[in-house]
Structure 1
Amino acid sequence: MKRLASAFLAVILVTSLLGTAGCKPRTVTVKTGEIVLCTAGEVVEDKTTDVKVPEKDVAKYSVTTRIITCPDHQNVGSLYDEAQKAIAAGDLKTAADKLKAVLALNPDYKNASSQLSDIDGGKTPTPDTTGGSTGTTTTPSPDEPTDAVSNLVKYVPDTIAGYSAQGIIADPASITRNYLPTSGNADQLVIFAEQTVDAKSAQATLDTLKQSYPTSGAAVTVGSKSGYFGVRDTFAVVIFIDGPVVVSVELHAKTGKAVDLKDAAMKVAAALAG
């Protein structure tokens, strides 16, 4: 759970009191503006600003996201697609040259490294039919990995009823976003989604994550998907798997018991699961 915990600390809500408690309205610092993400999982541009607003006005402010494929990754995607075509045609020399060019731009791009290792070892790798960043040659099945942001951004939407969307942390395999509740007993919502290799790996990741939330632990059903609810101190979490993707919905209780946030966490998780 180290990655999720670190992400939560990085985006933890900053609150302040103006004057003496009970004398003036409580204010919170919220983000507003736009974040531009590359389909490869990088923040291209952060156009957000922090503003202090009365707590009752949090719902008026939020952050929107825009997804693009930046020039560098457009080139990577094209090279990767050309490598896959060469592999399918049996032209391993051309495939190796294209894969080397891909790795020079992005050492972790999709299956490029493992495919090049296969070719160097005298094997013929299986072509990746999910395509590069500029498009797909076929539509991947729900159990196949695709580019992180393209596949994961739907789990961190700009709009969730009752919450104000805030900042995003992304990398090639995961995405994290925090939200400010506009009412209720929680003061922070963090959604974390990670792309794994397949559904079996996703289940293994869920089994690992749930160990960090042992209190009141129970299996739950989120829509048609299997999941887990648990509590750690003042944090309540619902974790579910969607094919090869693991999604965590974590709420922090500002008052009362974390277990009382189960219904709220389940409601958000159900909205994400579709």
Structure 2
Amino acid sequence: MKKVLAGLFLIASLSVLAINKGKSPMEHDIDYVWYHYELNSKYEKLFSKEKKEFKDKWEQNRNNKKNLITLLKKYTEKYPNDAYAYEALGTAYMLDNFKEAEANFLKAIKLGDDDTAKYSLALLYADKGEKDNDKEKTKLAEKYLKELENEGINSDYNLENLRDTKNGALIGNAQALFGLAAYYDNYGNYKMSEKYATEFLEFDKENLDNLMFLSNAYIAQKKYTESEKLFLPLAQKGMMQAQYLLALGYYHAGNLKEAEKWAKKTLEKSGTKQLDDIEVAKELLNRINSKLKVQNKK
């Protein structure tokens, strides 16, 4: 749960409702996430069951480059859209196979890993430019570093910390997955936030912050079917946060009747909710009703 915010609905998709409160900017530092979020310490030592075999082999072979390359290639065959896996593969090639390193870094960036992979590619080009006196590669390195700086990422230390967290997520660590879901949600990289938040569901299907990350990602990407699939069962169980997020998804999908139904559900037994929760739920219901009035006049 966010440390700075107490309300259930106050932390949920407020930027989508254009309500200027709730979400404060984080620095481009993965460690900064932990200042804003409290996560049960048990998640530090929890790892994905699905990735146990990969995790064990990763730990056994992480210092054996040849074996690590083979392992990562098999991993990308199984998970072809895991952007960071290609960056890890590119890093393994970095010292002695420029073309393979470059190809994998570019693949990672294409799939959404546009921070640490971009940094790794800049380092690769800078090294190539210096060794071969290649001015074109030097300019490319400068270009990527400038892009990172313009995006607010200008610390090697922060990028290394982010990469360490991605290594943890690659082998299925719960805490790392949550941290990356939060990090990318804050900066609007909803594709990456969705990936990590979805993987975190293996450990906790009802974590309120993680559900918020997924709601933001689904709405931003217009994945309304996925939103309904996740939140409807939880809403039917009586989970207030899920009812609100379900209503929010229906609202953006244009299904105003269902949005109204579930928004009203969030206000039932309002005495059990915090004032901020009630106000945010009412704001959503007002927006739904306004659209319904316009719709009914047509």
**Structure number having the greater strand percentage:** 1
**Structure number having the greater helix percentage:** 2
TM-score when scaled to structure 2?
A: 0.29
TM-score when scaled to structure 1?
A: 0.30
